[in-house]
């Protein structure tokens, strides 16, 4: 019988460094879809009690680093980095999505310029601050983009789009780097 080996979505394709930007795969740990069933305030209180983070407002994320909750649509968010507490089941539809997503981190002084070539949203720091998140297109793919730092972004796409995302970002990274050379 063949032995199966688990592979990450970006296996062997990352990290990439071009100019002042770096693209790396993120290991998010558990990723769980949370969809409000009752009152959002009740779910948010349950999440605060169980995980120390609130259910995020539209276009925002709550928490940071390894334990985060990212808004992905009306009454929907992704709980990242922690297995959901059983108390959330009374307030939300809770579904494991750990194998469904590809997560990358785009870092560096040119990260805003790179995203400006691919994303139809103003990603400049003055408009899109740390903790802001948006469901939008990156190239031709639907994605979630969250600012995680002054010059860093977390980009989530469906796992099946991982290599396409890397290709699109690498092309933009090359163009931005060549214009600054």
Together in a domain, 72 and 108:
no
pTM of the model: 0.95
Instruction: Please list the pLDDT of the chain residue by residue as tens digits (181 residues).
Output: 888 888 899 988 999 999 999 999 999 999 999 999 999 999 999 999 999 999 999 999 999 777 999 999 999 999 999 999 999 999 999 999 999 999 999 999 999 999 999 999 999 999 999 999 999 999 999 999 999 999 999 999 999 999 999 999 999 999 999 987 7
CB 24 within 8 A of CB 15: yes
Together in a domain, 46 and 112:
no
Count: domains in the chain: 2
Its domain, for residue 156, covers 16-27+99-180
């Amino acid at each position: 019988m063949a032995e199966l080996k688990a592979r990450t979505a970006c296996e062997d394709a990352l990290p990439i460094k071009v100019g002042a930007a770096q693209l790396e795969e993120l290991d998010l740990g558990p990723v769980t879809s949370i969809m409000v069933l009752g009152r959002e305030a009740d779910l948010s209180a349950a999440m605060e009690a169980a995980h120390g983070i609130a259910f995020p407002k539209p276009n925002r994320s709550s928490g940071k680093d390894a334990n985060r909750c990212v808004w992905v649509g009306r009454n929907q968010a992704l709980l990242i980095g922690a297995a959901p507490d059983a108390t959330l089941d009374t307030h939300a539809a809770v579904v494991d999505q750990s194998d469904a997503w590809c997560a990358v981190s785009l870092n560096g002084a040119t990260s805003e310029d790179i995203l400006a070539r691919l994303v139809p949203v103003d990603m400049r720091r003055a408009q899109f601050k740390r903790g802001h998140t948006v469901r939008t297109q990156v190239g031709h793919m639907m994605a979630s983009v969250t600012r995680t730092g002054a010059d860093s972004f977390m980009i989530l796409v469906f796992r099946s789009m991982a290599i396409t995302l890397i290709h699109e970002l690498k092309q933009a990274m090359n163009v931005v780097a060549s214009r600054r050379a």
